[in-house]
Amino acid sequence: MTAGSSSAPGQSPAPAPARTPKGMHDVLWPESARWEAVVARFADLVGSAGYGLTVTPILEHAGVFLRGIGEGSEVVGKEMYVFEDRDGQLMALRPEGTAPIARAFVQHHPVPPWKAWYVAPSFRHENPQQGRYRQHHQLGVEALGPSDADLDVEVVSLAHDFFAGLGLREVTLKLHSMGDGVCKPGYVALLGAFLAERADQLCPAHRARHLENPLRVLDCKTSECRAATADAPRFLDHLCDACAAHFARVRSGLDALGVVYTIDHRLVRGFDYYTRTTFEFSSDALGSAQNGIGGGGRYDGMVELLGGPPTPGIGFGLGIERILLACDAEGAFPVDPTPLDAFVVDTTGGTAARDLTAALRDAGFSADRAFDDRSMKAQFKAADRSGARWVLVVGPDEAASGTVSLRPLRDAGDQRTVPVADVVAAVRAATRPGAFPDAP
């Protein structure tokens, strides 16, 4: 790599490398164009459903996550970036998007229903692999206030519609319910008792730890745990009446909107805060084990945990990196870089390039130019690379006669020369579909 930095002999052993931290990546042009497009699509979709952009700090007091999500969760307990700042306060880099939105709700007490969307980086200190990074980016929505099952339907179908809009076809939606304060404890106890009876049949990891969080055993992928829990009691059979009615309404709503899903009795999401509806989107096009491209659910107790009034809420987070991987795998959502309208080639070393690009941009065209007074050939190569549709040439002849030559780079057509005063009008005519300057 580019070592570059010179360290005095006997000084610090390893010069600071000019590279991103492990598991973190730069997104450079033109790849970043797909990011822009994905985010723009999302903003448009959820914006039209009444959600407003909400920007929260990357850093929160660690307590927001410790209390909101729970120290028991893997992400908060083992993977969160936590540190003491210069004031001695315990801070954390956001590991997920929901808790900060709930915190903002508590802090600003907006009038419910409060519908927020966000695009934000998330940080988790884990070992990177395909589709898993220490910094990744999530698109999400959170809706706080209503406990109405129709809101669950809206939120789930928004994510569904978003994936469909990108052209992703191999997306699976799994749906489940985690109950509420009334029925969850009873079910967890029931499941715990069931597991205790056959603890010796569980995989080694859960043989010792199944009592800590019985729900997690359902999610275990080992054949031992799968077999041992094959006829474990199902949460959906033990929901209280209110939760059962809620879930039934969610299902009928999704059915009515044509959103296809499968019930997954093992769907146990990683954060402690979930209640009632939970869901997960995965891409069957991704060969990797990291095929989850989005997930979410209801969290009716979190706002209260953070010190706010009892307020139901539901939302989801979608991973941009994984969505892009899924798009690659399916050949979906191709994004072409937006071409420039014009590129100015000026070999006179004068002010033509400066003035022409400024005039074009003022007139609403996209325009670029070469710098450092390079050769005609070099400037044309730069123009070609830029993808510009037209080149405006100013050489000694044009400079002497007060004209500019227009040459099409991407379409057929001949080069024309026009007076400087007419350049903007000529470009305007030329960039009209199928048009050519001075065409009869």
Partner RNA sequence: GUGGGCGUAGCUCAGUUGGUUAGAGCGCCAGGUUGUGGUCCUGGAGGUCGGGGGUUCGAGACCCCUCGCUCACCCCA
Within positions 278 to 297, which residues make up the interface with RNA, using CB under 7 A? 280-281, 287-295
DSSP assignments along 5-38, one per residue: ----TTS-SSPPPSSPPTT-----TTHHHHHHHH
Which residues are within 8 A (CB) of 104 and not within 5 positions of it... i.e. 6 or more apart? 54, 56, 116
**Peptide bond before 113: cis, by omega within 30 degrees of 0?**
yes
Residue 78 or 109 with smaller CB distance to RNA: 78
Which residue, 132 or 265, is less far from RNA as judged by CB? 132
Residues in the interface with RNA (CB under 7 A) total 75
Q: Please tell me what DSSP assigns to residue 117.
A: E
Instruction: Return the closest-CA partner of residue 407 out of 399, 395, 396.
Output: 395
CB atoms near residue 417 (< 10 Å): 16
**Binds RNA by CB under 7 A, chosen from 16, 127, 223, 440:** 127
- Residue 142 Cβ, how far from RNA at the closest point, in Å? 13
Site for RNA in 140-199 (CB under 7 A): none
386 part of the interface to RNA, by CB under 7 A: no
- By CB under 7 A, the residues from 307 to 326 that bind RNA are 317-319, 321-322
- Candidate list 120, 175, 409, 426; residue touching RNA; CB under 7 A: 409
Cα–Cα distance measured from residue 408 to residue 401, given in angstroms and rounded to the nearest whole number = 21
> Which one, 290 or 357, has the nearer CB to RNA?
290
Query: Which of 265, 263, 166 lies closest to 215, judged by CA?
Result: 265
DSSP single-letter state for residue 409: S
Determine how many CB atoms are found less than 10 A away from the CB of residue 269.
18
Q: Which stretch binds RNA (CB under 7 A): 11-19, 60-68, 178-186, 425-433?
A: 11-19
Q: State in angstroms the smallest separation of the CB of 87 from RNA.
A: 26
Within positions 235 to 274, which residues make up the interface with RNA, using CB under 7 A? 269-271
Pairing assessment for the beta strands 82-84 and 90-93 based on DSSP bridges: antiparallel
CA-CA distance, 347 to 82, in Å (whole number)? Answer: 56
* Distance in Å, CB of 235 to RNA, minimum: 16
Find the binding residues for RNA in span 330-369 (CB under 7 A). 347
For residues 63 and 395, which CB has a smaller minimum distance to RNA in the complex? 395
Question: Contacting RNA (CB under 7 A), which of 70, 128, 233, 308?
Answer: 128
Closest CB to RNA among residues 234, 374: 374
Q: For residues 97 and 140, is the Cβ–Cβ distance under 8 A? A: yes
| Part in contact with RNA (CB under 7 A); list of ranges 144-152, 333-341, 371-379, 431-439 | 371-379
Helices marked H in 210-296 = 214-219, 223-228, 241-257
Q: Residue 136 Cβ, how far from RNA at the closest point, in Å?
A: 3
Which position among 377, 421, 435, 439 is part of the footprint of RNA (CB under 7 A)? 377
Alpha helices of 168-305 — where are they, by DSSP H?
A: 184-197, 204-209, 214-219, 223-228, 241-257, 302-305
Q: Which DSSP symbol is given to 284?
A: T
Instruction: State the binding string over 190-229 for RNA (x if CB under 7 A, else -).
Output: ---------------x----------x--xxxx-------
- Rounded to the nearest whole angstrom, what is the least distance from the CB of residue 256 to RNA in the complex? 26
Q: To the nearest 5 percent, what fractions of the chain are helix, strand and coil?
A: 40, 20, 40
Report 42-81 residues binding RNA (CB under 7 A): 73-75, 79
CB nearer RNA, residue 104 or residue 202: 202
In terms of CB distance, is 48 or 127 closer to RNA? 127
Task: Enumerate the H helices of 265-421 as residue ranges.
Answer: 302-305, 320-330, 352-362, 376-386, 396-401
Q: Any contact of residue 398 with RNA (CB under 7 A)? A: yes
Provide, rounded to whole angstroms, the least separation between the CB of residue 108 and RNA.
Answer: 24
- Contact between 107 and RNA per CB under 7 A: no
3-class state of residue 368 by DSSP: strand
Interface with RNA in residues 20-39 (CB under 7 A): 20-23
Q: How far apart are CA 137 and CA 198, in angstroms?
A: 40
The residue (of 110 and 222) whose beta carbon lies closer to RNA is 222
Rounded (5°) CA angle 195-197-199: 60
Give the nearer residue to RNA in terms of CB position, either 183 or 345.
345
Quick check: bond before 30 cis, omega within 30?
A: yes
Stretch that binds RNA, among 18-26, 57-65, 232-240, 257-265 (CB under 7 A): 18-26
Which of 34/124 has CB closer to RNA? 124
Residues shown for the chain: 440
Q: How far is the CB of 278 from RNA (least distance, A)?
A: 10
Among 136, 174, 210, 298, which residue sits at the site for RNA (rule: CB under 7 A)?
136
Min separation Cβ 107 and RNA, Å: 23
